[in-house]
Amino acid sequence: MVELTPSTVAAISGGERFRSIDETPDQAISMGMSQILDAHRVLIIATGIGKAEALARMVTGRVGPGMPASLLTAHRDITLVVDAAAVSGLDPALIEELA
């Protein structure tokens, strides 16, 4: 568990999930990349146009610390659950290949 900074709590409050600062947790579970890569299975859910650039960089970009999610492409059992908007930055042929 890690303590969230006041600015993080403020940033995640006031949305659909946490309607006010009073409803927003001030702690979170934190996992490092090594812990995630040691998992038996990894599930990534990406929805919406706001995830399109990151998803495209993860799938087609250079693997390295500049894009930590790219490291997950080497995992032995990874599943991506995405919507059309999230994959809008990918070539349709690549989407078909990955499906």
Q: Where are the domains of the chain?
A: 1-30, 32-99
Average pLDDT, the chain: 91
What is the pLDDT, as a whole number, of residue 26? 95
What is the pLDDT, as a whole number, of residue 53? 93
Residue 84 has pLDDT above 90, yes or no: yes
Query: Can you tell me the distance from the alpha carbon of 29 to that of 19, in angstroms, rounded to the nearest whole number?
Result: 20
Query: Can you tell me the distance from the alpha carbon of 31 to that of 17, in angstroms, rounded to the nearest whole number?
Result: 21
Query: Can you tell me the distance from the alpha carbon of 83 to that of 61, in angstroms, rounded to the nearest whole number?
Result: 20
Instruction: Give the residue-averaged pLDDT of 49-53.
Output: 94
pTM equals: 0.69
What is the pLDDT, as a whole number, of residue 19? 87
pLDDT tens, residue by residue, 5-30: 999 999 899 888 888 889 999 999 99
Please check whether residue 4 is in contact with residue 28, taking contact to mean a CB–CB distance below 8 angstroms: yes
